[in-house]
Chains A and B, each alone.
Chain A
Amino acid sequence: MNFYDTNLTQVHNDLVNKRISVTELTKETLTNIKAHEKDLKAYLHLNEDAALKEAAALDKEGVPADDVIAGMPLAVKDNILTKGLTTTAASKILENFNPVYDATVVAKLNQHHFINVGKTNLDEFAMGSSTENSAFQTTSNPWDLTRVPGGSSGGSAASVAAGEVLGALGTDTGGSIRMPASFNGIVGMKPTYGRVSRWGVIAFASSFDQVGWLTQNVKDNATLMSIISGQDKHDMTTSDREVPDFAAELNDSADVKGLKIAVPKEYMSDDVDAGVRKVIMDAVKHFESLGASVDEVSMPNTKYGVPAYYILAPSEASSNLQRYDGIRYGFRAKDVKNLEDVYVKSRSEGFGAEVKRRIMLGTFSLSAGSYDAYFLQAAKIRRLITNDFINVFKDYDLIIGPTGAHPAFKIGSETEDPRKMYMNDILTVPVNMAGVPAMSVPAGFSEGLPVGLQIIGKMFDEKTVYKAGYVFEQTTDFHKQHPQLGGQN
């Protein structure tokens, strides 16, 4: 089973009408995944036995006609807890961790009897832009196996782009859903901060982290997002706002006439590849031809996004990752003489290089003598970056621009230069600073590699983001182009 050129509704109808059983669908999905794994390395663990058991149970009961998720094979990023299924965050420190409960997002999907096919690879603790920071394996980009899939949700993105599943859960702290979506020519949505519960999602930077979906198409993304959204008593940052049916208005009558769209000139600077800028300019013209109005605006604090993010997110991470102490769970170093040794050696041997760098950056930024000049300064600049969004959204419905400054880069080309790697996030981190929703949709190609258009909305206005993305997708054919796995150099 390959999920190109189909969608949730079609597959669901096939299941309801028994053109294919859940067991057959699950088996074919797993076979397809396994056939690609040698090349892609997108999965850390497959959930074969439990998935087939769940499938058999559903076949016995029949797939309910009113539940589009029932029996649907989907994948879960491996920093999201799945009860009884090893969850590692791609870290050696959690190599054998067996969660005792499900993350809220997984519990919600379970209520709908989804089929969890497996746990996807990521940068260790979601810290990275290429998935090369996984302690276990490097995932390849299906468009060119010598290139990265982006990160940190690289396994989820590669699996969706290879047609293995219709959707995979990701997390986005500084671009970790949108960037891999852009690099892989698929759809990736980071919802508003507070829209989706992070209970059971392994914490990285708690004032930035959000859960979202990587999917083949916009409407499926919207359908799946409605299911995982909503207030959760276990995550006090979740909003009590009503969750709309995000997909309800994504149909033939959807249009972008009269939408006011802003393009920040800072998002189209010389730092962005000419090929990427061309794709985005074409998208701008396309929106205009569909009846939207597009103006250039300025968001002058954009350039502070990456440096401020790499103070604030590591500060939060250094605090969140204190829990990995080798005592209650996770890796404990051998040959320790005392308790201090357990802490220091377990952490030093258990964490990878990038995680340690970020713990060091955060610990420094929060330490006495540095707090005012680093953490506090960055927190004030976060306010300025957020004000840029607030100001533009006074006059506009959406902001658009590139998701990444360039297409997928070569594996190994940036690993020795962390600062260069961090600059990949220049167009994605401001969104997380402000907490607004943003989606990457396929918008064209540069040098034969996919380029994503980033569509940014107002707080809790995912609906308008989805509408613009849907209309763009339905009136272009970039999402119909797929990588030729196996047919490349």
Chain B
Amino acid sequence: MANQLDEQAVEHVASLAKLEFDKNELSKITGQLGNIMDMFSELQSKDVKDVEPMISPTDMDTVLRDDKAEHISKDERQAILDNAPDTENGLIKVPAIIDESEDGE
């Protein structure tokens, strides 16, 4: 499978990944991704009929902890909040979800 990524396709993938590239970056990364993906073509020709996909080296079952909230101290809570870019009244603050500069979606 040769390079099937054009700039339009790369922009689509970028939107899925919540990334954006300016014109120069887009041209550069499209070329680089195409070059890397040429390397993947070797995999496509390999016959893997009847091969089970391997997702992890461990064969252990998933273990779930009890669905119980763990208590944290006031200091721990503050330390967590101190890492947030913006807070108010002990809560994490984010910009408006609806873009007020447009009519919105």
Contact = CB atoms under 8 A, between A and B. Distances in A.
A and B bound? yes
Interface of A: 96-98, 100, 193-194, 207, 233, 236-237, 239, 303-304, 306-308, 310-311, 318, 322, 325-332, 336-345, 347-348, 351, 356-357, 359-361, 363-364, 367, 373-374, 376-384, 386, 418-419, 422, 433-435, 459
B20 A348 contact: yes
B9 to A, nearest CB: 8
A112 to B, nearest CB: 24
Interface of B: 1, 5, 10, 13-14, 16-21, 29, 32-33, 35-40, 42-44, 46, 48, 51-58, 60, 62-63, 65, 76, 79-80, 82-86, 92, 94-101
A237 B60 contact: yes
Nearest to A233: B65
20 contacts: A98-B79, A100-B76, A100-B83, A193-B56, A193-B58, A194-B57, A307-B40, A310-B36, A310-B39, A332-B85, A344-B20, A348-B20, A357-B29, A360-B10, A373-B1, A380-B48, A380-B52, A381-B51, A383-B51, A384-B51
Contact of B83 (A236, A328, A363, A377): A328
Contacts of A328: 80, 83-84, 92
B48 A381 contact: yes
Contact of A331 (B36, B43, B63, B85): B85
B60 to A, nearest CB: 7
B33 A236 contact: no
B56 to A, nearest CB: 4
Q: Would you call the interface of chain A mostly helix, strand, loop, or mixed?
A: helix
Given A233-B65, A310-B39, A379 B80 contact: no
Contacts of A306: 39
Best-surrounded residue of A318, A322, A348, A435 (most CB of chain B within 10 A): A348
Given A98-B79, A318-B17, A360-B19, A236 B63 contact: yes
A367 B13 contact: yes
B54 A383 contact: yes
A47 B98 CA distance: 44
A398 B72 CA distance: 47
Given A344-B20, A377-B48, A364 B39 contact: no
Given A348-B20, A377-B48, A307 B58 contact: no
Contacts of A360: 10, 13-14, 17, 19, 29, 33
Interface of chain B: mostly helix, strand, loop or mixed: loop
A207 B85 CA distance: 31
B63 to A, nearest CB: 5
A377 B79 contact: no
B83 A418 contact: no
A98 B101 contact: no
B60 A363 contact: no
A129 B32 CA distance: 17
A475 to B, nearest CB: 32
A236 B40 contact: no
A418 B46 contact: no
Nearest to A84: B79
Given A328-B84, A330-B85, A383-B54, A377 B43 contact: yes
Given A207-B55, A348-B20, A380-B54, 17 more contacts: A97-B83, A233-B65, A236-B62, A237-B56, A311-B43, A328-B80, A329-B84, A342-B95, A348-B19, A357-B29, A357-B32, A357-B36, A380-B48, A380-B51, A383-B54, A418-B36, A419-B35
A252 B10 CA distance: 59
Contacts of A337: 95, 99-101
Contacts of A338: 95-100
Contacts of A382: 53-54
Contacts of B43: 304, 307-308, 311, 377-378, 381
Contact of B95 (A239, A341, A359, A364): A341
Residue of A347, A381, A422 with most chain B CB atoms under a 10 A cut-off = A381
Given A380-B51, A422-B36, A364 B13 contact: yes
Contacts of A377: 43-44, 46, 48
A306 B56 CA distance: 17
B36 to A, nearest CB: 5
Nearest to A375: B53
Contact of A339 (B5, B19, B42, B96): B96
